């Protein structure tokens, strides 16, 4: 059995027209071709992202940016998050900080160009990775970083090639399923105060069945330690306080009140405690992963192949309830014979004829910070058969099944109510010394099951690929094609714990119950037509097209198409262009999840229940603050300026919408590939893209809805006013509705730049030098929340006003990564420079965050044939994240910026010779 590699030169072989067609056919990403011509080049097939008819990065009509294995090793990547965090095209997504809301639960997701993690399609070796969430997000922590050969990032919609969800683009993780030998590796990364990372991994592979097959396997363990906010001075600024465990007591009849300080002494005022320093800045994680890839030739026409991947990830962090210690704020009855009432306090209480006093009690229960422990087991299995039917026709058939099982448990919480619906705290008020700040109520607490979640995905796909040589050839060569059919089923099931189904815990959150699914059936076709070959001003001119017919059970799906042009003017200049449509079908969370309610106090910075990671979602009622239009406030029945408002009496609801429609998208790209012959070792790509999304699913945060209704667009009938409901009796806010609707239109234009220059180093240094630069520049970005308002300019902004997603809130209009490499024999040194451009607060453009620069230094040494060592420093200058005057969503900063500080790391790789 022999395989072939697609050409990696700046143009396809200058050979016969037939050789061109054969080369294109043999390089199909779905095909491992067998030897048909002894004169052919015998090399390995590589998978090309963005087409089922493969080309290399430089000759693809669709722009693809890549990170290779060498860079991944230099970055000492423990998790895939360590790789994607440095991609200029990627926003933060859900990450180690956990500064997100929704169902992320300690995951790490990818968000291309800040367009939403649910609009980024994640692939493993060209096929879909199993999601973990109901919003189709993939936890990329399940992917073994040590087995990654490269990461491809495809710009723009790719629905015609890969199906729904590829609206912003595709991230394809190419794993080394042909590894030969044994490799043992270990890495350790540390920073001041915590956040250490440890990774050990073993990879093995070799031929089987007398060389007719191959097996590659891996097993690994990774650990990430916690980093507390108290370890970073910047995170402790503006930290808030909450009621202490001594408590504050108000006699209902007289209004008399008193507090108990931390020493047990009586005080006239409230006593508070600050627990910010104990909160998690980075969430601890453990991961165990293992997998096996195999392929074996059955005969000259068939090869079986497949993979099995498993990962168990455990993350402890801030779940939906946040980390604020639970407290009581309720009215209860104290009896006169209660022996624990302090003598000085007894005089302030009003006991009735029955010897009872009604007292409102505010008290921290002293159970410690809450945290959610999420255990996620993900597995994916694939089995297929592929082969060559004739010299010009190949096939590929595979079935794939993936499943994620997740159990999340909330700690340091408790049942608020007993089985009869009565307060458990009130029941112990006269039998326990609730006035003692050192009272141990740990027996009062229970680990509470938050939810069990199950997510499955099944895919069956068949593809025929080949060329037209047996029937006809155009003057420039044969036409290459791929035809296929795919069936996919997605299902999700969630079972909440009883405390959160019934609302009987101290957490102000509830969990929905869901059991839903949908399926799709799709036909797809792709064709590559060589128009010109070896002509003046046209070394190569190819037209490519793709079309996909989609049928979804949960929505009216749209057919999608792609047209692309690839024009090599000569050996030095190549132009590429594409235009395509895409759609994103409603995912399980958007069309099937019921409404979930949280307390609005979790989002209110003036409330003791406020969760810092929810900052910016509710900034108060403009009508009460006096910033709203008076006529509009009166129109909607708001009370007078200055009226008191208790946000704990209002709710924040979010969930799905069975009437949701698919998102529609159009994208266009125009690119230049330049490989000048007069500058040896230099290549450059410049790609312009335009993405337009209509009927975009959006969630309007209450802060944005209130600002638009009462400040920016205070007119009768503004639909955003209905996103925040008022109590008809009091006029105070009763409900903020953050459900999914097809409200928004999103437009983004940008430019991706990649430059590489390799040359011999000066004699005094020796060796070689490589300069590399990758940049993402956004030239236009706008978001129109609904058809009645003007679009918001989101270019170069941060904050929820321009984010409809649950994760990223940074829309930087410039990001780059530049590296300088020096290699001498067995030694290599790299200096890296990452930059995030200046941004402005989307809600207040006068507030800015300056450009942030990060320097990384790494070195590698091939100590022997079997041992290599890599060491490095990330964030060499120990750059702290920026602290904006407003709009922070994570401990005074924005969660998209790195929070660890300077870190030192080392990794070892040992490849024993057998």
| Strand 768-784, strand 741-760: pairing | antiparallel
Q: Are residues 763 and 721 in the same domain?
A: no
Q: Are residues 581 and 603 in the same domain?
A: no
Q: Which two tokens stand for residue 264?
A: 């047990």
Let me know if residue 433 belongs to a domain: no
Provide φ and ψ at 160, rounded to 5°. -65, -25
Higher pLDDT, 619 or 53: 619
| Domain, as residue range, for 88 | 17-228+284-319+374-411+448-589+662-699+741-910
Q: Are residues 572 and 602 in the same domain?
A: no
Q: How far is CA 410 from CA 372, 507, 509, 622, in A?
A: 4, 9, 11, 35
Mean pLDDT of 69-76: 83
Q: Which two tokens stand for residue 843?
A: 């809600």
Q: Are residues 637 and 608 in the same domain?
A: yes
Could you read off the pLDDT of 226-250 as tens digits, one per residue? 999 999 999 999 888 899 999 999 9
Q: Are residues 689 and 706 in the same domain?
A: no
Let me know if residue 825 belongs to a domain: yes
Higher pLDDT, 86 or 284: 284
Q: What secondary structure letter does DSSP report for 610?
A: -
CA 425 vs. chain centroid, Å, equals: 40
Q: What secondary structure letter does DSSP report for 229?
A: G
Cβ burial, residue 795 (10 Å; 0-12/13-18/19+): buried
Interatomic CA distance for residues 881 and 97, integer angstroms: 13
| Strand 839-841, strand 797-798: pairing | parallel
Q: Are residues 613 and 686 in the same domain?
A: no
Let me know if residue 310 belongs to a domain: yes
Mean pLDDT of 495-516: 88
Let me know if residue 49 belongs to a domain: yes
Q: Are residues 795 and 693 in the same domain?
A: yes
Are 224 and 905 within 8 A, CB to CB?
A: no
Provide φ and ψ at 201, rounded to 5°. -150, 145
Let me know if residue 418 belongs to a domain: no
Higher pLDDT, 110 or 447: 447
CATH of the domain at 455: 2.40.170.20
Mean pLDDT, the chain, integer: 87
Question: For residue 409, what pLDDT is reported?
Answer: 95
Kindly give, in sequence order, each residue whose CB lies less than 8 Å from that of residue 352, ignoring residues fewer than 6 positions away. none
Quote the number of domains for the chain.
2
* Helix (H) or strand (E) run with residue 71 in it: helix 69-74
Interatomic CA distance for residues 170 and 168, integer angstroms: 7
Strands (E), 111-147: 111-112, 120-124, 127-128
Kindly give, in sequence order, each residue whose CB lies less than 8 Å from that of residue 407, ignoring residues fewer than 6 positions away. 374, 375, 449, 451, 452, 453
Confidence grade of residue 481 (pLDDT, cut at 50, 70, 90): very high
Using only C-alpha atoms, the chain has a radius of gyration, in whole angstroms, of 30
Question: For residue 620, what pLDDT is reported?
Answer: 93
Question: For residue 728, what pLDDT is reported?
Answer: 94
Kindly give, in sequence order, each residue whose CB lies less than 8 Å from that of residue 431, ignoring residues fewer than 6 positions away. none
Are 548 and 574 within 8 A, CB to CB?
A: no
Mean pLDDT of 660-685: 93
Q: Does residue 45 carry a pLDDT above 70?
A: no
Could you read off the pLDDT of 424-453 as tens digits, one per residue? 999 999 999 999 999 999 988 889 999 999
Let me know if residue 559 belongs to a domain: yes
* Helix (H) or strand (E) run with residue 847 in it: strand 844-849
Let me know if residue 853 belongs to a domain: yes
Question: For residue 617, what pLDDT is reported?
Answer: 86
> Residue 667, SS3?
strand
Question: For residue 21, what pLDDT is reported?
Answer: 31
Q: Are residues 468 and 509 in the same domain?
A: yes
Q: Are residues 81 and 123 in the same domain?
A: yes
The rounded percent of the chain whose pLDDT value lies above 70 is 92
Range with lowest mean pLDDT among 134-143, 431-440, 575-584, 621-630: 134-143
Q: Are residues 871 and 904 in the same domain?
A: yes
Q: Are residues 585 and 605 in the same domain?
A: no
Place of tokens 């200046």: 838
Kindly give, in sequence order, each residue whose CB lies less than 8 Å from that of residue 456, ignoring residues fewer than 6 positions away. 130, 401, 402, 403, 404, 489, 490, 491, 492
SS3 track for 869-902? EEEEEECCCCCCCCCCCCCCCECCECCCCCCCCC
Which has the closest alpha carbon to 344: 414, 405, 435? 435
Which has the closest alpha carbon to 525: 460, 473, 584, 481? 481
Which has the closest alpha carbon to 611: 620, 600, 621, 622? 600
Determine the Cα angle at 98 with ends 94 and 100, to 5°.
65
Mean pLDDT of 383-398: 95
Are 779 and 750 within 8 A, CB to CB?
A: yes
pTM of the model as a whole:
0.84
Q: How far is CA 608 from CA 228, 336, 410, 728, in A?
A: 20, 31, 20, 26
626 torsion bin: left (phi>0), alpha (psi -120 to 50), beta (else): left
Q: Does residue 824 carry a pLDDT above 70?
A: yes
Interatomic CA distance for residues 74 and 869, integer angstroms: 10
| Strand 266-267, strand 257-260: pairing | antiparallel
Confidence grade of residue 29 (pLDDT, cut at 50, 70, 90): very low
Strand partners, 687: 671, 752
Q: Are residues 94 and 180 in the same domain?
A: yes
Let me know if residue 277 belongs to a domain: no
Could you read off the pLDDT of 157-209 as tens digits, one per residue? 788 888 888 888 898 999 999 999 999 999 999 999 999 999 999 999 999 98
Interatomic CA distance for residues 752 and 741, integer angstroms: 31
- In this structure, the chain runs to a length of 914
Interatomic CA distance for residues 71 and 86, integer angstroms: 11
Mean pLDDT of 48-55: 68
Interatomic CA distance for residues 165 and 154, integer angstroms: 13
Last residue of a domain, one of 737, 757, 788: 737
Question: For residue 99, what pLDDT is reported?
Answer: 57
Question: For residue 613, what pLDDT is reported?
Answer: 67
Determine the Cα angle at 201 with ends 67 and 309, to 5°.
75
């Amino acid at each position: 059995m022999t395989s072939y590699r697609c050409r990696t030169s700046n143009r396809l072989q200058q050979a016969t027209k037939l050789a061109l067609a054969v080369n294109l056919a043999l390089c199909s990403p779905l095909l491992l071709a067998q030897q048909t011509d002894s004169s052919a080049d015998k090399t390995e097939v590589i998978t090309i992202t963005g087409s089922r008819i493969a080309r290399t990065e430089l000759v693809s009509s669709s722009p693809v940016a890549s990170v290779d294995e060498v860079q991944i090793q230099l970055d000492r990547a423990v998790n895939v998050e360590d790789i994607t965090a440095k991609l200029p095209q990627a926003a933060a997504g859900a990450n180690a900080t956990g500064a997100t809301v929704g169902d992320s639960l300690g995951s790490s997701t990818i968000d291309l160009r800040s367009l939403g993690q649910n609009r980024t399609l994640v692939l493993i070796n060209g096929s879909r990775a199993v999601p973990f969430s109901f919003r189709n997000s993939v936890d990329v922590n399940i992917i073994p970083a040590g087995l990654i050969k490269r990461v491809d990032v495809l710009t723009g919609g790719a629905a015609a090639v890969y199906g729904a969800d590829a609206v912003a683009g595709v991230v394809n993780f190419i794993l080394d399923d042909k590894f030969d030998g044994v490799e043992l590796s270990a890495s350790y990364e540390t920073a001041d105060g915590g956040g250490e990372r440890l990774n050990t991994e073993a990879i093995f592979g070799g031929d089987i069945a007398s060389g007719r097959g191959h097996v590659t396997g891996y097993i690994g363990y990774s650990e990430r330690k916690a980093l507390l906010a108290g370890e970073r001075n910047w995170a402790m600024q503006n930290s808030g306080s909450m009621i202490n465990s001594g408590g504050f007591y108000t006699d209902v009849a007289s209004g008399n009140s008193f507090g108990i300080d931390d020493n047990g002494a009586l005080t006239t005022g409230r006593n508070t405690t600050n627990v910010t320093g104990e909160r998690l800045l980075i969430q601890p994680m453990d991961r165990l992963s293992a997998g096996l890839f195999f392929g074996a030739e059955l005969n000259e026409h068939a090869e079986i192949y497949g993979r099995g991947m498993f990962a168990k990830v455990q993350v402890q962090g801030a779940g939906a309830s946040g980390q604020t210690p639970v407290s009581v704020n309720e009215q209860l009855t104290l009896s006169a014979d209660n022996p624990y009432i302090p003598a000085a306090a007894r005089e302030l209480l009003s006991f009735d004829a029955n010897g009872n006093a009604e007292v409102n009690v505010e008290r921290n229960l002293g159970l410690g910070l809450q945290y959610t422990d999420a255990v996620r087991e993900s597995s994916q299995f694939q089995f297929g058969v592929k082969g060559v039917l004739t010299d010009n026709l190949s096939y590929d058939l595979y079935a794939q099944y993936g499943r994620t099982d997740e159990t999340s448990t909330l700690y340091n919480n408790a049942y608020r109510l007993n089985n009869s619906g009565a307060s458990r705290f009130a029941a112990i008020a006269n039998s326990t010394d609730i006035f003692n700040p050192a009272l141990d109520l740990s027996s009062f607490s229970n680990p509470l099951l938050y939810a069990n979640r199950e997510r499955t995905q099944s895919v069956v796909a068949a593809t025929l690929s080949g060329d037209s040589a047996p029937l006809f050839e155009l003057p420039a060569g044969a036409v290459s094609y791929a035809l296929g059919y795919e069936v996919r089923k997605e299902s999700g099931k969630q079972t909440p714990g009883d405390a959160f189904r019934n609302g009987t815990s101290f957490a102000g959150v509830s969990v929905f119950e869901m059991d839903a699914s949908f399926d799709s059936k799709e036909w797809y076709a792709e064709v590559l037509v060589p128009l010109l070959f070896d002509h003046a001003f046209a070394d190569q001119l190819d037209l490519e097209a793709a079309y996909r017919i989609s049928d979804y059970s949960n929505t009216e799906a749209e057919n999608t198409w792609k047209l692309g042009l690839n024009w090599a003017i000569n050996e030095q200049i190549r132009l590429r262009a594409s235009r395509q449509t895409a759609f994103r079908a409603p995912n399980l969370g958007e069309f099937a999840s019921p409404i979930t309610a949280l307390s609005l106090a979790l989002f209110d910075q003036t409330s003791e229940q406020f969760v810092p990671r929810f900052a910016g979602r509710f900034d108060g009622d403009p009508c009460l603050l006096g910033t709203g239009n008076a006529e509009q406030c009166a129109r909607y029945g708001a009370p007078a300026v200055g009226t008191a408002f208790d946000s704990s009496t209002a709710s924040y609801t979010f969930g799905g919408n069975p009437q949701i429609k698919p998102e529609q998208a159009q994208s266009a790209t125009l690119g230049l590939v330049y490989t000048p012959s007069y500058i040896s070792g230099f290549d450059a790509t410049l790609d312009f893209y335009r993405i337009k999304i209509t009927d975009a699913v959006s969630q309007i945060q209450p802060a944005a809805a209130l600002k638009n209704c009462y400040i920016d667009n205070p007119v009768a009938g503004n639909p955003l006013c209905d996103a925040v409901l008022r109590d008809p009796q009091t006029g105070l806010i009763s409900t903020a509705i953050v459900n999914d609707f097809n409200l928004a239109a999103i437009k983004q234009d940008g430019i991706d730049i990649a430059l590489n220059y390799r040359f011999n180093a000066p004699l005094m240094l020796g060796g070689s030098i490589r300069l590399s630069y990758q940049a993402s520049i956004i030239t236009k970005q706008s978001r129109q929340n609904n058809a009645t308002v003007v679009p918001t300019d989101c270019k170069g902004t941060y904050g929820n006003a321009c984010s409809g997603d649950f994760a990223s809130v940074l829309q930087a209009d410039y990001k780059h990564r530049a590296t300088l490499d020096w290699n001498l024999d067995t030694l290599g040194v790299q200096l890296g420079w990452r930059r995030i451009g200046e941004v402005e607060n989307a809600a207040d453009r006068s507030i800015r965050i300056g450009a942030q620069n990060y320097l990384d230094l790494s070195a590698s040494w091939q100590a022997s044939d079997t041992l290599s060592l890599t060491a490095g420093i990330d964030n060499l200058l120990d750059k702290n994240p920026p602290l904006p005057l407003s709009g922070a969503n994570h401990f005074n900063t924005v969660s998209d910026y790195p929070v660890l500080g300077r870190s030192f790391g080392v990794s070892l790789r040992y490849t024993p010779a057998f």
